[in-house]
Amino acid sequence: MASMHNILGSGLKIFGYFRYFSSDTLFIGSLFILILAFSLYFGRGRLVSIILAFYPTTLIYKTFPYIDKLIVLKGDFAQVINELLVFSIILVLITIIIDRFIKADGNTSILRLSFLSLAFVLLIIVFSYTTINYDVLHNYSEQFDSLFTQNRLIWWNLVPVALLMLV
């Protein structure tokens, strides 16, 4: 009877854990599936190019002196969309340049693409904490926010690079 109580208690703890992360899990899971579908269609080389282009794009976006002149829309939602659009344009341009140098072999497994998709999802999450705050699109829970505190962000930035080296 005591073991049944322990199992039930553990199950309730797990359910309580997912209660806090449910919207985050849905958002991240949807993002992961979308990126995985992209990588299945366009291939591993294109996804690696985007991941590698993400770092210089973030640097350019954060340091370019006239970026504020390109943000013309007003309002919280419109401004975030405008910022994401400007960032995306820079990302596409740098991805095109990097894509010319990336040679991906044709032997790509779903597991490799899953790890690369996970790396890109992590980059997007870190991006929301460091570059463009897209809380109007999705606001992460406090429990999830605690994983990405300021002193841990450098390590979260290195995880996608480590995943690239492993895959």
Query: What confidence tens digit (pLDDT) does each residue in 35-76 have?
Result: 999 999 988 889 999 999 999 999 999 898 888 788 788 888
Does any domain span residue 30?
Answer: no
Nearest by Cα to 159 from 86, 36, 54: 54
Does any domain span residue 4?
Answer: no
Q: Per-residue confidence at 118, pLDDT binned at 50, 70, 90?
A: very high
Does any domain span residue 98?
Answer: yes
137 pLDDT higher than 70 = yes
Q: Which pTM value belongs to this model?
A: 0.77
25 pLDDT higher than 90 = no
Number of domains in the chain: 1
Range of the domain at 105: 46-166
Calpha distance 152→156 (Å, rounded): 7
4 pLDDT higher than 50 = no
| Backbone φ, ψ for residue 139 (5° rounding) | -105, 115
